[in-house]
Amino acid sequence: MTRESILPILGDHHLPYVVPVIVYWVISFIFHYIDTKGLLSAYKLHTSAEDLSKNRATKSNVIKFALLQQACQCTLGYLTATEEQVFPHDYAIAVWAQNVRYGGIVATQWLRYFGLELAWVANNSKDPESGFVERFIQNTYGNNIGNLSHVAQPQTALVSTDFSTWTVITAKLLYWILVPLFQYISVMILADTMQYFTHRAFHVNKWLYRHIHSMHHDIYVPYAYGAFYNHPLETIPIDMILFPMCIAIAKLDNRQATIFGAIWTFKTVVDHCGYDLPYNPCNIVCPHSVLFHDLHHQTWGMKHNFSVYGSFWDRLMRTHWSPCDELAQEKYKRGKVIAETSVARKRLVERASDMTVGKSTAVNT
Ligand SMILES: [Zn+2]
Ligand SMILES: [Zn+2]
């Protein structure tokens, strides 16, 4: 059977590629508003002089490429999206309860083998029907509820009648919390690992950097909607092939993929926002999350901080550079001074040329 959609106008299978786009532009708009109104300036990482003198990409081009990337992702999402088969919660919990009971029976047998008898385990894993284990094995119930499609049709009310309270509580805990948590942690580790090594490869290989990834680094002073300013040849393998593969390996369903896609997009946009705000939720997985990626965008920091979620791979592969490090702070300060000088010099040149034009116009008249 198929599940009723969260939104009446759009099936759940379309949400994994639609919701991240909405998150991207909503968060970007909020930061753009903060930027243009000059709010939260105390938390701003860079001065406007740095913005003026360092960034090489025009903002209209950045918006154009971000939209192009999202259009490609949405097209692929639309073409590949499929409605998924789901079971009623009661039925899925009953499957887990059977697995738990089977696990209990196996554990009891092993404990007996070693001369131990744990009454709690034995009582909660007692087979209420003869031949239950045989049927259980025969039906090849695995830990994956998806495997059940060929075994039985969905039924309800299995939980309350067939299992002990503790078995049901354990099954519910597994179904609602532990298994989804394991899936989210797995996909985060997979995606972060993928991101670290592909991102690093784009920097290590000179051709890849010069012709593809350097485009993202045209933004030295990051801002929110610059997060998806990438070359299409970077977007296709990473965002359109490898990222969905991570989701498939972790077996996220459409709703879980939507949540993960939204979190991933939120983190990517916030990491580029240019404000080191307190209570940033992204700091839970990576301390000084915004500063961590901002350092990577500096000319002197490009060979460091390749990860997206945590700093695990950077620390392990010795590419981590803490933005709080003294030398990094020194380089940030120097960058600000150079930008101020460059902007001041540019203004002087402009004023001088204006005066020259003014004088020549006066002479001619
Ligand atoms: Zn990079
Ligand atoms: Zn970036």
Ligand 1 center to 213 CA (angstroms): 7
Q: Which tens digits make up the pLDDT trace of 200-239?
A: 999 999 999 999 999 999 999 999 999 999 999 999 999 9
Q: Which tens digits make up the pLDDT trace of 282-329?
A: 998 888 899 999 999 999 999 999 998 889 999 999 999 999 899 999
- Ligand with an atom nearest the CA of residue 234: 1
Ligand 1 center to 285 CA (angstroms): 20
Same domain, 264 and 118: no
Same domain, 246 and 278: yes
Same domain, 64 and 129: no
Establish if 3 belongs to a structural domain: no
Establish if 4 belongs to a structural domain: no
Same domain, 98 and 188: no
First to last CA, the chain: 85
- pLDDT at res. 160: 46
- Ligand with an atom nearest the CA of residue 222: 2
- pLDDT at res. 363: 58
Establish if 63 belongs to a structural domain: yes
Last residue of one domain, picked from the residues 306, 324, 342: 324
Establish if 7 belongs to a structural domain: no
Establish if 53 belongs to a structural domain: yes
Same domain, 226 and 347: no
Q: Return the HEC string of 27-86.
A: HHHHHHHHHHHCCCHHHECCCHHHHHHHCCCCHHHHHHHHHHHHHHHHHHHHHHCCCCEC
Same domain, 185 and 46: yes
Same domain, 78 and 112: no
Same domain, 125 and 72: no
Average of per-residue pLDDT across 104-121: 69
Same domain, 52 and 194: yes
Last residue of one domain, picked from the residues 115, 138, 155: 155
Domain count, the chain: 3
Q: Which tens digits make up the pLDDT trace of 54-94?
A: 888 999 999 999 999 999 999 999 998 888 777 777 777 87
Ligand 2 center to 188 CA (angstroms): 18
Confidence of residue 152 (pLDDT cuts 50, 70, 90): very low
> Residue 138 CB: number of other CB atoms within 10 A?
10
Domain range enclosing 332: 327-365
Establish if 26 belongs to a structural domain: yes
Same domain, 195 and 332: no
Contacts (Cβ under 8 Å, ≥6 apart) of 101: 124, 125, 127, 132, 163, 167
Establish if 112 belongs to a structural domain: yes
- Ligand with an atom nearest the CA of residue 201: 1
Same domain, 296 and 335: no
Same domain, 59 and 187: yes
Ligand 2 center to 216 CA (angstroms): 6
- pLDDT at res. 125: 57
> How many angstroms separate the CA atoms of 66 and 44, rounded?
23
